Structure 1
């Protein structure tokens, strides 16, 4: 079991240390390994109790791989994932077996992106929500049904719907069912992977408000994965920006949106819609040159330098470490102190 000192104070729920995930590339006779896709590269994250940490970046940046590795590190993963359980023990997630693994599966759960694909159409809501109660808590009969009905009520649906099938519900209602299934065994940490991206805009705010209410009510901690910075701004306490498998900026949400320190963050923020129609067009939209580099063959130096309008010779040859440039602000950019980047305004 890891030393508690590795986790810091008791507010820390989960810690990743130098977490990397590299998938082998196989080609030719015998499917020889000719290289590796660097999906996640040396990520260090700390998630504190009852906070919402946002993880943002373009599609393919590695954020979903990182989220799934938190649930249970893949065989391709190296580094450490440490978790502080409800009884205060620090667990090395990569080495979990037996009862400790069962505890982790109860206490760390995921809400998936697509409520249509994540619910079995052949099962009733009672069977869907009741499955984790049966498998993880050993409940059955009236006790299981009462717990399922109570959780359905908590997410804003009627307990009388327990014997209906998923096709009878709208997309937003199905996501409420997915949230109920995730929360019914009583988790402490929830990984929400693009949990509102498949929903209509009119429904997103309702689900986001529900997640906030449940967090306050149940004392939950969230790792919220999204490509939509306007959603992250609404929900998250801190934001980690990911590019090509690496964290390039980590900051409190308000500070990050007001004054980004990494050029990639500036470009992402410039794409966030301006809600006030009188101010639309007042902010420059930064269009990044070229495509995201191949994660199987990343560029030397700063991974972002091939698309960065501020890149210098140093950026081409020297990879910047993720370093603290102000209290609570980590940035992987050689010029973070010198650049004056545009925020949301």
Structure 2
């Protein structure tokens, strides 16, 4: 480990590809034990800066400027020379940084062994000790499984442990916990904070979100279009004494409204989706002496009326998707009744149930829900052509109106979905839902992978969709701020069970269950951050 002093110094760093400039004369320095948060939206240059620092340029990158490591001589930033300090890289587990055919423990151990120039057995012991210091129940035997068998939060914990086991001088963290859920993000940020203080390494953390700034603090470098907008302490930037762009970036991020929430809309429509005494939870339905399932007396009962909104709030493994599958009749209810538009889904054939589900639109944060081979126009037109016998002129009119509503009317309609950005794909899914005139819209983590400005626009698009079209909304999320923006009532889930339910305004103000309190606490940032 290095003594307190200079870890890294960049001077005049530039990166371009052809006529496009990604970084424009960036200069910065970092001391041992210091943390620098690089904040910017997608395309701001933060990804390009991390490529330069990590030494993994892309084909066609032209890199200028110099880097000086640990007080050594300046070297060209584009050179392949090995830095005179131990550098560890902390990626996001959702970016699939590990190969799928080998166990996580083996891969992380090889990384530690290579960085420490140590035998495999010694490196594995260092990794085990590092895991023991972290909160939670992640152990080395648990990581003796392939990445596909483990959840992203477990892999993220293992990645933090591997970084600590390397005893680095510098850690490069590229949005390592983005989209893992607010509760997990808080836990992982706290773990990273504790490990950095213990090991005193320099930390550069690239992010498009506010949570790392509020929880880690330190110095913040704001990038826009490859240039530094401003640089300063997290406290100053979050206090509102910042550049107009920085303030707009912070204002675009969601906040939990603790007082004076928006007025509750009146839901006077007929029941659309009804759950009557349906068993849901980790325990199987009780059986009688003959092995037959007995009726459940305390099953789940609720309803969603036309035009109303309900959020299923919980971590990814909480059971929210299992409940959704029951609600839509994808999985048959073992007992009780599930009615959609007054039709019992349990008595329908699969073909009839599929016809009913045509009145349900699905908007997801996953980019693989749209066919990448279809064009932008075909994606929007498909629901109309498949289910309605109307003229091509009418179809084109509905298509253009829907694309205009989401801000995609100026795009080339013959472009394939595969070339669209995640933000454009998300808006395209909303346009596709628009033309289908659904009775129910399922919104599943719609802001995943989007930067602050894109998240703000998506929230506005979805709020406008509900206000103008009037469908019922069913929102699946682990983030109370998203639930509060898009829904009025909620079911809170944990461990495959519904642990609390009620109006979101009431849950935020007076939560009862520990799971609800933890989810709210995870998105409740400091007073300074909330006031920006």
- TM-score higher than 0.5: yes
1:93-172 to structure 2, matched below 5 A, reads 94=77, 101=82, 103-104=84-85, 107-115=86-94, 117-156=96-135, 157-172=138-153
Q: 1:220 aligned to 2:169?
A: no
SS class of match (1:278):
coil
Q: 1:267 aligned to 2:228?
A: no
State the distance in 1 between where 2:91 and 2:241 align: 29
What is the CA deviation profile of residues 44-102 of structure 1, one whole-angstrom value per residue up to 9, with x for unaligned ones? 11222212111111111110110121122745110111111xxx64563648777xx17
TM-score w.r.t. the length of structure 1 is 0.68
Asked if the contact 2:40/2:207 (under 8 Å) is kept, the reply is: yes
What is the CA deviation profile of residues 269-320 of structure 1, one whole-angstrom value per residue up to 9, with x for unaligned ones? 2123334522668xxxxxxxxxxxxxxxxxxxxxxxxxxxxxxxxxxxxxxx
Q: Which deviates more, 146-155 or 204-213?
A: 146-155
Q: 1:251 aligned to 2:438?
A: no
Relative to structure 1, is the Cα distance of residues 61 and 175 closer, same or farther in structure 2, using a 3 angstrom cutoff? Answer: same
Which residue does 2:8 correspond to in 1? 14
State the distance in 2 between where 1:91 and 1:153 align: 39
What is the CA deviation profile of residues 11-66 of structure 1, one whole-angstrom value per residue up to 9, with x for unaligned ones? 33211111000112xxxxxxxxxxx2100001111222212111111111110110
1:1-345 to structure 2, matched below 5 A, reads 11-24=5-18, 36-72=19-55, 74=57, 76-84=62-70, 89-90=72-73, 92=75, 94=77, 101=82, 103-104=84-85, 107-115=86-94, 117-156=96-135, 157-278=138-259, 344-345=531-532
Unaligned runs of 5+ in 1: 1-8, 25-35, 282-341
Which residue does 2:367 correspond to in 1? none
Asked if the contact 1:22/1:38 (under 8 Å) is kept, the reply is: yes
Give the Å deviation of 1:343.
Answer: 9.2
Asked if the contact 1:62/1:245 (under 8 Å) is kept, the reply is: yes
Relative to structure 1, is the Cα distance of residues 170 and 73 closer, same or farther in structure 2, using a 3 angstrom cutoff? Answer: closer
What is the CA deviation profile of residues 94-117 of structure 1, one whole-angstrom value per residue up to 9, with x for unaligned ones? 48777xx1754xx12211123461
Unaligned runs of 5+ in 2: 263-528
Greater C-alpha radius of gyration: 2
Relative to structure 1, is the Cα distance of residues 14 and 159 closer, same or farther in structure 2, using a 3 angstrom cutoff? Answer: same
SS class of match (1:269):
helix
What is the CA deviation profile of residues 152-193 of structure 1, one whole-angstrom value per residue up to 9, with x for unaligned ones? 323442233353332332211111122223333221111111
Query: Whose relative contact order is higher, 1 or 2, with alpha carbons under 8 Å and at least 6 apart?
Result: 1
TM-score w.r.t. the length of structure 2 is 0.45
Asked if the contact 2:13/2:26 (under 8 Å) is kept, the reply is: yes
Relative to structure 1, is the Cα distance of residues 279 and 224 closer, same or farther in structure 2, using a 3 angstrom cutoff? Answer: farther
